[in-house]
């Protein structure tokens, strides 16, 4: 290996290490605060934790009523991710195979949605007109609609790389259109679907603004709404709030580590084949 290449690899590793530190430092800071008592945090906010207060997590779960909010978050995340994967696949397959005229125009319309700002006021007016405000199905449909653009972009690029001979063989064997999508396209796009499900799940699980706009009933709001309970008018218990942040973020972190292999392969395959 030449000296220039060694310097290049060393510089790349240094930049990656710096980027990793920038990402991990806030996480470690929150963990450090979450394990402190309130008195220890107020007296020594920047020091390392001395006595670990595991009770903070139970107190955060209790104070923020996270039991109810956790059920709502799981419901929204699972249904939105599953619905987005199904609808996006059924839309991306005919676009990738150009089964009708105007597929390129339709595809560009979906791509343009990635760059357009979110129109909250028209969304509120439309949801109110349709009677979808403060309903589970209305909020789920809103989140699915907002996730379709990036999902169709990823899946279309991935499906273009699938051999068309499979389509022809399915037609010869008498396989129906929907049956072919569910029995062949879905398994073959497993890695891309994992990427779509993870991106959609992150957006739904971490959503904070939309639940307050479209779900006026407090009992219907997701887990992120529970974090708002920790902010008081005159004081805030920062250690309990930090524990609550960890409780909210932990399920997504666990899901990412479990699906990491599929997510990375889905992104790279879609980028190469698109």
> Which stretch of 13-22, 27-36, 110-119, 232-241 has the lowest confidence by average pLDDT?
232-241
Residues shown for the chain: 274
231 strand-pairing partners: 236
**Could you tell me if 139 and 211 are in contact, meaning their C-beta atoms sit under 8 angstroms apart?**
yes
pLDDT tens digits along 131-148: 999 999 999 999 999 999
Whole-number pLDDT of residue 144: 95
Q: Is this prediction's pTM over 0.85? A: no
Q: Which residue has the tokens 């419901």?
A: 75
Kindly report the backbone phi and psi dihedral angles of residue 236, in degrees, each rounded to the nearest multiple of 5, phi listed first.
-140, 130
Q: What angle do CA 225, 229, 231 make, to 5 degrees?
A: 120
Mean of pLDDT values over 242-253: 87
Q: What is the pLDDT of residues 18-34, one digit of tens each?
A: 888 888 888 888 888 88
Average pLDDT of every residue of the chain: 85
Structure tokens at 94: 């005919």
Average the pLDDT over each of 60-74, 86-100, 205-219, 225-239 and give the range with the smallest value.
225-239
Q: Computed from CA positions of residues 32, 37, 41, 47, in that sequence, does the dihedral angle turn out positive or negative?
A: negative
């Amino acid at each position: 290996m030449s000296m220039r290449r060694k310097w290049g690899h060393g510089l790349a590793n240094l930049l990656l290490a710096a980027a990793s530190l920038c990402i991990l430092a806030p996480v470690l800071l929150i963990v450090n605060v979450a394990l402190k008592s309130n008195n220890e945090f107020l007296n020594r906010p920047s020091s390392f934790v001395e006595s670990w207060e595991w009770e903070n997590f139970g107190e955060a779960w209790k104070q923020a009523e996270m039991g109810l909010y956790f059920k709502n978050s799981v419901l929204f995340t699972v249904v939105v991710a599953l619905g987005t994967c199904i609808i996006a696949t059924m839309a991306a397959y005919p676009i990738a195979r150009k089964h009708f005229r105007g597929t390129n125009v339709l595809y560009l319309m979906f791509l343009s949605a990635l760059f357009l700002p979110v129109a909250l006021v028209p969304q509120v007016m439309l949801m109110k007109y349709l009677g979808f405000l403060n309903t589970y199905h209305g909020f789920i449909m809103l989140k699915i609609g907002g996730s379709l653009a990036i999902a169709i972009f990823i899946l279309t690029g991935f499906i273009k790389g699938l051999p068309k001979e499979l389509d022809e063989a399915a037609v010869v064997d008498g396989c129906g259109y929907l049956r072919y999508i569910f029995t062949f396209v879905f398994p073959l796009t497993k890695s891309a679907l994992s990427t779509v499900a993870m991106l959609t799940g992150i957006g739904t699980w971490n959503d904070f603004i939309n639940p307050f706009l479209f779900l006026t009933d407090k009992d219907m709001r997701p887990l992120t709404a529970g974090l708002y309970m920790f902010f008081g008018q005159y004081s805030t218990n920062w250690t309990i709030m930090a524990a609550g942040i960890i409780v909210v973020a932990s399920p997504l972190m666990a899901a990412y580590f479990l699906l990491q292999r599929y997510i990375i392969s889905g992104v790279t395959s879609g980028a190469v084949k698109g």
